[in-house]
């Protein structure tokens, strides 16, 4: 099983060459070079123009880790020029913000000549259209954004993020129904490790594959939360063994830790093992418990 490992997606504003040059060494699974909301409107043209010369170095330093490019949305004056640069640079994926209309996503896909798209679902309309957005050709994942979402629905930020639950679940459902990945919002208080941990655990519990980040200090937590723990791995191994032994006796069910398991549990268990293997390949020195 070939498991893509995108536990952490770190936004890096495209504005400062020194920050960009350092970004690959931070260890994120994915870098998202940002032309959108991290940049002042007056800085956008210069940042876009500077990317061509910075890009090869960024790719070389990133090695196997992916580099995405977040462009400005379809209803902004920068969208066309951003797509033109994206089409030339060919990042591993283009992140389209504030997606609401499958037609404009399709148009971006045509212009980008096959570069996979990650769609940000971060407005009321976007959440309601998520299932259709996820099915547009070329879409490889959905990315939730809480800042824009809260603004869109006039929600108040709360510590338990309850105001996000419906939207987050909607994003995961739409992604899974289309067979693509789902990534969660950043945790914006980058000096709050316990808030980050709780937010990441909630997202993992809902089914997200990884979480976006706004600070390198958030990555270790995301790598821990979005990779299987030692307990999960051990249980997955027990499930697979039990189902295989049951099958030899012509039975479809088995008992693991006092619970009934079926072949469907073995499928998920194999996915967990594949993800663990991918995490170990990426961070061979990482502790095996977690
Ligand atoms: C991210 O783009 C957000 O709006 O939270
Ligand atoms: Mg946003």
Name the residue with the closest Cα to ligand 1, atom 2.
Answer: 145
Taking the CA of residue 36 as reference, the ligand 1 atom at the shortest distance is 2
Cα separation, 24 vs 85, in Å, equals 21
Residue whose CA lies nearest to ligand 1 atom number 3: 145
Ligand nearest to the CA of 143: 1
- 67's tokens: 């580099």
User: Cα(286)–Cα(271) distance, rounded to whole angstroms?
Assistant: 20
Q: What is the pLDDT of residue 286?
A: 63
Residue 287: the pLDDT is 56
Query: What was the pLDDT predicted at 108?
Result: 96
pLDDT tens series, the chain, 290 aa = 667 899 999 999 998 889 999 999 999 999 999 999 989 999 999 999 999 999 999 999 999 999 999 999 999 999 999 999 999 999 999 999 999 999 999 999 999 999 999 999 999 999 999 999 999 999 999 999 999 999 999 999 999 999 999 999 999 999 999 999 999 999 999 999 999 999 999 999 999 999 999 999 999 999 999 999 999 999 999 999 999 999 999 999 999 999 999 999 999 999 999 999 999 999 887 655 44
Closest CA to 256 of 272, 268, 240: 240
Calpha distance 36→13 (Å, rounded): 8
SS3 percent helix, strand, coil of the chain, rounded to 5, is 50, 15, 30
How many angstroms is it from 123 CA to the middle of ligand 1?
10
- Kindly report the protein residue whose alpha carbon is nearest to atom 1 of ligand 1: 145
Task: Round to whole Å and give the CA distance between 201 and 184.
Answer: 11
- In this structure, the residues whose C-beta lies within 6 A of any atom of ligand 1 are 37, 120, 122, 145-148, 185
Q: Smallest Cα–Cα separation from 281: which of 82, 64, 37?
A: 64
Contact 126, 145 (CB under 8 A): no
Q: Which residues surround ligand 2, an ion (CB under 5 A)?
A: 122, 145, 148
Ligand 1 centre to CA of 21 (Å) is 23
Question: What predicted TM-score, i.e. pTM, was given to this entire model?
Answer: 0.94
Give residue 289's pLDDT.
45
Most ligand 1 atoms within 8 A of CB, residue of 120, 150, 157 to mutate: 120
Residue 188 CA: nearest ligand 1 atom is 5
Q: What is the pLDDT of residues 169-203, one digit of tens each?
A: 999 999 999 999 999 999 999 999 999 999 999 99
Using the mean position of ligand 2's atoms as its centre, give its distance from the Cα of residue 289 in Å.
34
- Kindly give the distance from the C-alpha atom of residue 97 to the centroid of ligand 2, in angstroms, as a whole number: 6
Residue 290 has what pLDDT?
Answer: 43
């Amino acid at each position: 099983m070939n498991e893509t490992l995108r536990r952490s997606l770190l936004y890096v504003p495209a504005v400062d060459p020194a920050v960009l040059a350092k970004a690959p060494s931070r260890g994120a699974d994915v870098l998202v070079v940002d032309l959108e909301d991290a940049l002042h409107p007056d800085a956008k043209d210069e940042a876009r123009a500077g990317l061509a010369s910075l890009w090869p170095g960024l790719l070389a330093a990133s090695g196997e880790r992916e580099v995405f490019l977040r462009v400005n949305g379809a209803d902004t004056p920068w969208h066309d020029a951003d797509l033109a640069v994206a089409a030339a640079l060919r990042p591993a994926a283009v992140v389209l913000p504030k997606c609401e209309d499958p037609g404009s996503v399709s148009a971006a896909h045509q212009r980008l000549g096959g570069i996979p798209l990650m769609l940000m679902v971060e407005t009321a309309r976007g959440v309601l259209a998520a299932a259709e957005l996820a099915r547009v050709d070329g879409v490889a994942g959905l990315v939730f954004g809480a800042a824009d979402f809260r603004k869109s629905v006039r929600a108040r930020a709360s510590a338990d993020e309850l105001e996000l639950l419906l939207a987050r679940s909607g994003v995961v459902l739409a992604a899974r129904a289309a067979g693509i990945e789902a990534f969660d919002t950043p945790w914006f208080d980058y000096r709050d490790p316990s808030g980050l941990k709780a937010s990441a655990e909630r997202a993992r519990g809902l089914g997200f594959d990884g979480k976006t980040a706004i600070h390198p200090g958030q990555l270790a937590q995301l790598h821990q939360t979005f990779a299987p723990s030692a307990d999960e791995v051990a249980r997955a191994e027990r499930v697979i063994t039990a189902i295989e032994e049951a099958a030899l006796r012509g039975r479809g069910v088995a008992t693991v830790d006092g619970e009934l398991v079926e072949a469907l549990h073995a499928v998920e268990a194999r996915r967990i093992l594949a993800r663990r293997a991918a995490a170990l390949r990426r961070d061979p020195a990482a502790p095996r418990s977690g």
